[in-house]
Amino acid sequence: MPAAGDDPAIVDAWSTTKREFQNGNELLEPECAEDLAELYASFQLPDGNGDAAGLLGVDMDTVVEWLRIWPEDSSFCLEDLTLRTHVNAVTGDKLFYWNYGLGGNDHGTYHFLLAGKPRSSAVHVISNSDGDISFLGQSYDKFVSIEAWPKPESEDAHEAWARQVKGLIDFYQRVEKKDDYDQDAYEDMFRHNSTPVDVARFPVDDGED
């Protein structure tokens, strides 16, 4: 792994793997226990999508029962379910993006995990509610601040971490501003499920608000 503090391309160092869950029993497999715990917890937060999904306040045992018969039975009302795992090749940090449909609309949550930390310590930083990107917090701006994000213990890693997180904030602010870049060369660059990139490389149109 390269020395993080010396790599100017850290905000472009993200790669993505994708898993689509075809049925609820896939999510109930032992190797997905941490995935299930994270997804369930996201539905229990006021800033998550639990209310829209009818899962806010529903206990885990009930959710497990519903998953066993999903999608044939719609008690677990997600129309589809995909987990994208973005990994930074420089820092090793991860951003998990849960994406699902509700009522024909796009929803999901983003969870940031420092390299070397247990999955249970991943922090829910952003929600996608019907296509609207919101940074969590009372005024939907807590995680617009770099200092709100989980920080590595080693001071030697702080510079790279700050550049990486600033890049993520800039990217998702741009996603919220415009889903898809309007030039053919960058078609679909800013879709909600895109791998994060350095938005400083892309000019902003004079006519954009």
Measured CA to CA, the distance from residue 43 to residue 208 in angstroms comes to: 34
* pLDDT > 70? residue 191: yes
Look at phi and psi of residue 33 and say left if phi exceeds 0, alpha if psi is from -120 to 50, else beta: alpha
Residue 36, domain member (yes or no): yes
Residue 209, domain member (yes or no): no
* Residue 97 three-state SS: strand
Q: Is the Cα dihedral 173, 175, 181, 187 positive or negative?
A: positive
Measured CA to CA, the distance from residue 83 to residue 131 in angstroms comes to: 17
Confidence of residue 99 (pLDDT cuts 50, 70, 90): very high
- The Cα-based distances of 116 to 92, 132, 139, 150, 153 in angstroms read 8, 31, 31, 12, 11
Measured CA to CA, the distance from residue 131 to residue 49 in angstroms comes to: 12
- Give the count of alpha carbons within 13 A of 201, CB side only: 13
Write out pLDDT tens, residues 118-135. 999 999 999 999 988 999
Write out pLDDT tens, residues 33-89. 999 999 999 999 988 999 999 999 999 999 999 999 999 999 999 999 999 999 999
- Do the beta carbons of residue 192 and residue 106 sit within 8 Å? yes
Residue 83, domain member (yes or no): yes
Residue 40, domain member (yes or no): yes
Residue 84, domain member (yes or no): yes
**Total number of domains constituting the chain:** 1
Residue 23, domain member (yes or no): yes
Sole residue written with tokens 């969590």: 136
Torsion angles phi and psi, residue 78, rounded to 5: -65, 140
Mean pLDDT throughout 125-146?
Answer: 89
For residue 34, the enclosing domain spans 10-201
Residue 4, domain member (yes or no): no
Residue 114, domain member (yes or no): yes
